[in-house]
Structure 1
């Protein structure tokens, strides 16, 4: 039987949990208390799962998705080689698209959007890699599934300009995505409707 955890170690765990999105110190304390009280059923399996993910998780070298291999299962699936690439800002947006099951092609994660205020330029995103993929993979359409924010729309127009010499169709999600909305918070039906009603830029 392992020795009891010292209060200092519990405080350190609470501090780490409080750094997670959507959690503050009070929520972190409640969560850690729940984990400690249910150590065998919850805490120990969680610790093992976290250790495995910390060891194996990596960024897909093609699309930027999170995977446990050099190239993620979406990129290696031959059924998804449809000639369509769906461009998203973050991995969470890719996962939101996959939940709906409306898209059967491949993805490209930018890693953010252009932002003058945050000094994020094209060289800070995976835009050059996208252009290379369009040229090398025989892509027929690039679907820009970027969030309906000012930065998202600025990024979409920049990408459309960069891809213009490639002669590829560039479209964007249409109805169903409200201005200021983020894909990760939309329901599956809304994402599916927006994807089907995409428009050419």
Structure 2
């Protein structure tokens, strides 16, 4: 790809490093920015710089925060007896958008994957265990840990490891339901998902 300017080439190369953006898409974005007012590009650049220099991670749950503790952990409206364990930040955002969960979170930063060289020590598992143990000596003891991890071999391995570590605490450990999505047809559902749906069936209620 030939560029009319080294400045444009440099900008395209940097933007194309982002996931899902190729050189052609990056070029369109660069040319679009060139057509905008100068302040538009400056504001974009400033927001990205602030993102990298000012955003911090919660010392409790490892969520994105602007201070030492995130807004969810600080909120008095959240149920501190329930912790939902997730793989990463997008999972928190997805669950929050449902409006159905009012507990706290714990972000692991990934899942156990020996193939990719990711072990338990590379994740925020120990801080979760410590968090649960410390809560038992306070007035806001954790009573349930919900494992909202991917329905993959890596996710199941991580869930098994965490469950084993939490066994001695005696608290309830649960996982999110896995099964047929709303609007899904049985004939198009894979056998593993269909099998899980049957094993984890629930009572049918007319209420």
Question: Which band: TM-score by shorter chain?
Answer: 0.7 to 0.9
Aligned to 1:86: 84
RMSD value, Cα? 2.0
Kindly tell me the number of residue pairs found equivalent between the two proteins. 175
State the 1:145 CA deviation. Answer: 0.5
Aligned to 1:54: 52
Aligned to 2:104: 106
9-18 or 68-77, which deviates more: 9-18
Question: Which fold has the larger relative contact order, with Cα–Cα distance below 8 Å and residues 6 or more apart in sequence?
Answer: 1
TM-score (norm 2): 0.78
Among 69, 72, 75, the residue aligned to 1:71: 69
TM-score (norm 1): 0.80
State the 1:176 CA deviation. Answer: 4.9
1:164 partnered with 2:167: yes
Aligned mates of 1:36, 1:97 — CA distance in 2? 38
Among 12, 15, 18, the residue aligned to 2:13: 15
CA offsets 1:79-108 (integer angstroms, 9 cap, x no match):
114300000001111111111111111100
Segments of 4+ in structure 1 off by > 3 A?
39-42, 175-178
Q: Which protein is bigger by CA-based radius of gyration?
A: 2
State the SS of the aligned residue for 2:173: strand
Aligned mates of 2:66, 2:77 — CA distance in 1? 20
- Structure 2: which 5+ runs fail to align? 136-140, 182-199, 203-207
State the SS of the aligned residue for 1:142: strand
Check the 8 A contact 1:148/1:177 in 2, yes or no.
no
- Structure 1: which 5+ runs fail to align? 1-5, 179-196
1:133 partnered with 2:136: no
Aligned to 1:184: none
